[in-house]
């Protein structure tokens, strides 16, 4: 059910007592928060604890018993204790036989133990049906009812029926259970809440480094040079003018870096004559974060668009234009329209608009809910055809922006070329190599390799090569 309705339900607790009793082992923060929420949702809750003296911490409507007594009162037992304390459960093995044990534990770091906590629990109490669940929900969120974030609860377990019962409880709490299969998935589920944007780290670090470099590069060329030679103070350029140079440069370079690994992979496959050998690790990792690279590039492109569109509102720009007009008026000059310049200016704007438009389209299709609704053929069409068209348009936008300034000596200050020239290196390489790769003499063997053909099967371990087209 959607967030709205569940939120409403959270305020109008369903106190029907038709639900089965749940036992919770452990009266720590998470156990109590879960107990609170379950009582709110109409479940009778009994806590199992070492000390049976009821503390104020236990929700009022819950019972507090010894572990053994509590376990006997319910068919589903939530183990809200830490892994180090699991051992005492072996002494309860008889009582726990046939019961559903729900492991809700989390670790402090990724892959902390050789086996997952849930698998460890299943080994300790072999007669019980262990289900992993609830570890991705925070106690604070359960307590405060502010489940704005993901309501997904990953559930896994070897016993189908036990899993179904736990999933029913998850739903009753207003959360969305997601079946993740057998208990072998527990390790991944336990690692999940510990991650902090793992795939985003490389793109973000890379773009921060590039941004710092280009920021100081432009600072030297545009602010310090003017200050040294013309004694003009353009320090306010660091708020808009320089970011508006850095952003498009980063957007273009990062966009090219999205397509570079694909081109490298094609070269490696052509050279090796097979697709069945693994790429070097760095290439594998690079390919896996292409989507994130592209989205960071899109972020810089969007900033570039915003910075560009406010240009006419900037007080500096207004002052510059009006002083130009006034000096022309005072000199009684009227300039005719420079047609070449009008063409250049309009074309580079038009190329930029179209490039940005396609870039946003690519970004939208990478939204999970959109990419889930397209099949492979459609996804490849969008990401490769539209992607390269975007790269071509953005590169052309930068080239036309340069116009006839490439060779003018005034573009070189302190022998430093304009920053946008540096940004053109990677995209031009990618486009040229890609153009070479789609020549029929290279495209044909590449297509065959990608369909499973191998050039030199005799070099591998076995020498018998069977042409196996019908694949039987």
Minimum CB–partner distance for residue 305 and its own copies (Å)? 8
Distance CA 337, CA 183 (A): 74
The site string for its own copies over 290-329 (x = CB under 8 A, - otherwise) reads xx-------x--xx-xxxxxxxxxxxx-xxxxxxxxxxxx
Taking the C-alpha atoms of 25, 27, 32 and 36 in order, what is their torsion angle to the nearest 10 degrees?
A: 70
Judged by beta carbon, residue 217 or residue 356, the one nearer its own copies is 356
Quick check: 398 and 248 in contact, CB under 8 A?
yes
Judged by beta carbon, residue 266 or residue 426, the one nearer its own copies is 266
Quick check: 407 and 237 in contact, CB under 8 A?
no
Residues in region 42-71 near its own copies by CB under 8 A: 42, 49-51, 53-57, 59-60
Of 175, 174, 176, which Cα lies nearest the Cα of 13?
A: 174
Distance CA 438, CA 433 (A): 9
The one segment of 17-25, 70-78, 210-218, 438-446 that binds its own copies by CB under 8 A: 17-25
Judged by beta carbon, residue 58 or residue 424, the one nearer its own copies is 58
Minimum CB–partner distance for residue 420 and its own copies (Å)? 17
Residues in region 245-274 near its own copies by CB under 8 A: 265
Of 425, 358, 388, which Cα lies nearest the Cα of 262?
A: 388
Residues linked to residue 10 through DSSP beta bridges, in sequence order: none
Minimum CB–partner distance for residue 425 and its own copies (Å)? 25
The site string for its own copies over 351-390 (x = CB under 8 A, - otherwise) reads --xx-xx--xx----xxxxxxxxxxxxxxxx-x-------
Minimum CB–partner distance for residue 384 and its own copies (Å)? 11
Residues in region 432-471 near its own copies by CB under 8 A: 450-452, 454, 457, 460-466, 468, 470-471
Of 208, 234, 221, 395, which Cα lies nearest the Cα of 320?
A: 234
Residues linked to residue 130 through DSSP beta bridges, in sequence order: 101
Of 123, 113, 101, 124, which Cα lies nearest the Cα of 190?
A: 113
Quick check: 9 and 175 in contact, CB under 8 A?
no
Measured in whole angstroms, the distance separating CA 194 from the mean position of its chain's CA atoms is 15
Quick check: 250 and 300 in contact, CB under 8 A?
yes
Q: Does 472 bind its own copies (CB under 8 A)?
A: yes
Residue of 9, 224, 399, 437 that binds its own copies (CB under 8 A): 9
Residues in region 215-244 near its own copies by CB under 8 A: 233, 235-236, 239-241, 243
The one segment of 121-129, 210-218, 287-295, 386-394 that binds its own copies by CB under 8 A: 287-295
Residues in region 120-179 near its own copies by CB under 8 A: 136-141, 143-146, 148-150, 152, 154, 160, 164, 167-168, 171-172, 179
Residues in region 68-127 near its own copies by CB under 8 A: 80-82, 84-85, 88
DSSP 203-233: HHHHHHHHHHHHHHHHIIIIIIHIIIII---
């Amino acid at each position: 059910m959607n967030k709205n309705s569940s939120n409403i339900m959270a305020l109008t607790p369903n106190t029907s007592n038709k639900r089965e009793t749940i036992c919770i082992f452990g009266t720590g923060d998470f156990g109590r928060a879960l107990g609170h929420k379950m009582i709110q949702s109409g479940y009778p809750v009994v806590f199992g604890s070492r000390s049976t003296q009821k503390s104020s911490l236990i929700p009022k409507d819950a019972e507090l018993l010894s572990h053994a007594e509590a376990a006997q009162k319910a068919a589903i037992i939530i183990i809200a204790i830490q892994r180090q304390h699991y051992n005492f459960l072996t002494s309860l093995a008889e009582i726990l036989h046939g019961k559903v044990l729900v492991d809700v534990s989390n670790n402090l770091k990724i892959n902390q133990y050789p086996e997952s906590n849930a698998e460890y629990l299943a080994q300790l109490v072999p007669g019980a049906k262990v289900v992993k669940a609830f570890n991705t929900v925070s106690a604070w969120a359960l307590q405060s009812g502010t489940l704005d974030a993901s309501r997904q609860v990953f559930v896994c377990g070897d016993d189908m029926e036990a899993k179904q019962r736990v999933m029913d409880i998850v739903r009753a709490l207003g959360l969305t259970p997601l079946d993740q299969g057998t208990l072998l998935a527990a390790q991944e589920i336990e690692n999940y809440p510990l991650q902090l944007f793992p795939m985003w780290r490389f793109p973000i670090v890379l773009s921060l480094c590039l941004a710092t470099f280009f920021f100081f590069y432009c600072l030297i060329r545009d602010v310090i040079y003017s200050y040294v030679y013309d004694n003009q103070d353009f320090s306010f350029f660091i708020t808009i003018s320089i970011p508006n140079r850095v952003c498009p440069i980063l957007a273009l370079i990062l966009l090219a870096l999205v397509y570079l690994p694909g081109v490298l992979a094609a070269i490696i496959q052509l050279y090796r004559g097979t697709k069945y050998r693994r790429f070097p690790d760095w290439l594998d990792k690079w390919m896996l974060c292409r989507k994130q690279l592209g989205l960071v590039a899109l972020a810089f492109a969007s900033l570039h668009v915003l910075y560009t569109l406010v240009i006419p509102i900037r007080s500096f720009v207004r002052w510059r234009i009006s002083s130009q007009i006034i000096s022309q008026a005072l000199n009684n000059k009227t300039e005719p329209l420079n047609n070449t310049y009008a063409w250049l200016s309009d074309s580079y704007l038009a190329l930029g608009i179209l490039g940005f438009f396609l870039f946003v389209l690519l970004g939208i299709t990478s939204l999970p809910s959109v990419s889930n609704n397209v099949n492979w053929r459609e996804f490849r069409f969008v990401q490769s055809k539209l992607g390269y068209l975007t790269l071509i348009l953005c590169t052309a936008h930068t080239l036309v922006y340069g116009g006839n300034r490439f060779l003018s000596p005034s573009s070189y200050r302190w022998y430093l070329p304009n920053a946008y020239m540096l940004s053109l290196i990677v995209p031009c390489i990618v486009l040229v190599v890609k153009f070479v790769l789609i020549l029929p003499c290279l495209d044909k063997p590449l297509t065959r390799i990608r369909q499973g053909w191998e050039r030199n099967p005799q070099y591998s371990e076995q020498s018998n090569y069977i042409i196996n087209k019908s694949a039987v």
